[in-house]
Amino acid sequence: MLAFHCGPHYRALFRLKGRETAMANGEKTHDRSAADRDLGQDSEAARLSARLARLSEALDQRQPPSQPSDEGRSSRRSLDAANLGFRALVEFVTAVVVAPLIGWQIDTWFKTGPVFLIVFLFLGMAAGLLNVYRIAVGQTGPGRHAK
C-alpha cells in the first residue's frame, strides 16, 4: 500500500523542482520582470508553459528506468503475511488439483487407466512446490529461476 502516497509525493517533487528552477533563474527573472510587465498576459502564459515543459522534462529524468525494478517485488513481499500465506496455499492446492485433472483428461482420451492421473498428481505436487518456492523467492514466471 506504499504507493498510495505517490500522489502527494509527485506533487511535492513538482513544487520542489519549481522552487529550484525559480532560484536558478532568480536574477534573470528580476532583470526581465519590467519588460515582461509591458508585454502582459501573453508572455506570462508562454513563460508558464515553457516552465511546465522544463518541469515535465525534469520529472521524466527522475522517472525510474524502463526495466522492471526490484521495488515491485519487494512491495509485493511487504503485503500482509496472512495474505502471502493464503497465496502460497492457493498456488499449491490449485497445482495439485489441476494437474491430476489434466492427467485424467489424457487418460480418457487414450484409455490408459489411471496411469497419467497418478503421474500428473506427482508432477502437480512438483509444480505446486515450484509455485510456492517462486512466491517465497519473490519471482514469478517460468524460466526465471535458472538465471
Q: Tell me which residues touch another protein (CB under 8 A).
A: 1, 3-4, 6-7, 10, 63-69, 71-73, 75-76, 79-80, 83, 86-87, 90-91, 94-95, 97-99, 102, 120, 123-124, 126-128, 130-131, 140-147
CB of 89 to another protein, least distance (A): 9
Instruction: Fill in the amino acid letter for 100.
Output: P
State the sign of the Cα–Cα–Cα–Cα dihedral 17, 20, 21, 22.
positive
Q: How far apart are CA 5 and CA 3, in angstroms?
A: 5
Residue bearing cell 496455499: 89
Considering the complex, state which of residue 33 and residue 83 has its C-beta at the smaller distance from another protein: 83
Q: For residues 110 and 103, is the Cβ–Cβ distance under 8 A?
A: no
Nearer to another protein (CB atom), residue 54 or residue 87: 87
CA distances from 53 to 57, 70, 85, 112 (A): 6, 30, 46, 69
Q: Residue 130 CB, nearest distance to another protein (Å)?
A: 5
Minimum distance, C-beta of residue 84 to another protein, in the bound complex (Å): 10
The residue whose grid cell reads 511535492 is 12
For another protein, the closer CB: 32 or 104 = 104
For the CB of residue 126, give the shortest distance to another protein in the complex, in Å. 5
